[in-house]
Structures are given as structure tokens and as C-alpha cells.
Amino acid sequence: MPVALLMLSAIPLLAGAFRVVQLMGGPELIPADDRFAGFPLPLLVHVVGACLFLVVGAFQFVPRFRRHHPGWHRRAGRVLAVAGLLVAGSALWMTLLYAAKPGTGSLLYVLRLVFASAMAMCLVLGITAIRRRDVVGHRAWMIRAYAIGLAAGTQAFTGGFGEALFGKGALEGDLAMGSAWFINLAVAEWLIRRQDGHGRRSRSVRASHNAVPAGASS
């Protein structure tokens, strides 16, 4: 699981690293973008937050790691909550602050506002759930938040396929990029329901094992 998540994260994380190197005066490993040069702070916050969120977050999904290192899960979770809120906050900030990237349209603008807000909301609901000791709710909201963030990786594929299939128009591009959030959330909902099903089944198996058979009492 973490390997697959890290592989999907690799393209946007590399792009982010290249952009930061360039903004710090290093070599141009990707085409320069003057929109960021004047005030790069939100982009830097976004890239650093995204790196922490995707890389550390990938390990939160390993059940054995969670069980054997609960202290690590809690400490990393606090870092992740802050990093995730920084990603969502800076995404809103950049959407509102920077001129739109040429070739993108208002659909992507609206989707970014919606999903950045949704990511922040999922994180807040995940944090409040675990404070109430609602582990099932916590897991579900955190999976949703991670899925929204990880759409940056899925967009590398949907963007490429979309352009190959439907051409380079702004609406086509926006639909291709936007579809990544819906795909990731569909997978997240499937995972959440599958895990809930497993949990319910193993609880009922445990209950039936522990039940005293009728007539077995002394």
C-alpha cells in the first residue's frame, strides 16, 4: 500500500521539488512560471506541506505499523494534520491569488476551491472524530482527506490521457484534471466500505466464538 501511494505521489512531488529549486535560483529543470516568482511563499508552503502529507501519510495506512507503533501513529498524525491543512489552505490561497495558468478554465478554478475546502473539512472531521474516540469515523475522514490530496498524482495520468483523447481545450483539460478527485474519492469510499465490512465480519466472528452455546452452562 505505501509503495503504491508513494509511486502515485512521485510525479507531483518531483515537480514541486524542481519548482522550489528553480524559485531558489537553481537550474530550470521545468519551464519557468513567472506567476510564482513575485510571491512564491504560498507555493513553497504548498510543496513542503504536500511532501510531508503524502510521504508520512502513506505509512499511516499500514495496519501492522499502526498496531506496533501507536505512539508514532499519533505523533505523525499531528504533523500530518498540520501539513494537510497547510496544503489545503495554500491551495485556496494560490487559487485566489495567482492568475490562472494559461489553458485552464473556470471549472478547474471552482473545483480547486471546492476540493481544497473539502480536504480541510475532512481533516477537521477526522481530528474531531479521534478526539471522541471514534476510530471508524477517524479512519474514514482521513482516507478521504488523503484521497483528495493524492489527486495531484492521479491528475498526472488523467491530464495526460485527457489530452491524448480529447485534445487541448480548457474545458477538456479542466474535466480531465477534475476527474482525478472523483476517481480518488470513489476508490476511498470503496476502501472505507470494504474495511467497515471486514471490521463488522471479524467482530461478529469474535462474538460467535465467545458466545456460550445454549445448554452449555453448568
Which CB atom, from 96 or from 205, has the smaller least distance to ligand HEM? 96
Any contact of residue 91 with ligand HEM (CB under 6 A)? yes
Q: Give the one residue of 15, 107, 170, 191 binding ligand HEM; rule: CB under 6 A.
A: 15
Tally of CB atoms within 10 A around 59? 18
Any contact of residue 19 with ligand HEM (CB under 6 A)? yes
Any contact of residue 80 with ligand HEM (CB under 6 A)? no
Q: How far apart are CA 208 and CA 205, in angstroms?
A: 5
Any contact of residue 112 with ligand HEM (CB under 6 A)? yes
Any contact of residue 16 with ligand HEM (CB under 6 A)? yes
Q: Is 97 helix (H, G, I), strand (E, B) or coil?
A: helix
List all residues 6 or more positions away from 159 whose beta carbon is below 8 Å from its beta carbon.
Answer: 173, 176, 177, 180
Taking each helix axis from N to C end, the angle separating 135-166 and 106-131, rounded to the nearest 10 degrees, works out to 160
Taking each helix axis from N to C end, the angle separating 106-131 and 70-97, rounded to the nearest 10 degrees, works out to 150
Any contact of residue 57 with ligand HEM (CB under 6 A)? no
Binding site for ligand HEM (CB under 6 A): 12-13, 15-16, 19, 33, 43, 46-47, 50, 53-54, 87, 91, 94-95, 98, 101, 112, 115-116, 119, 148-149, 152
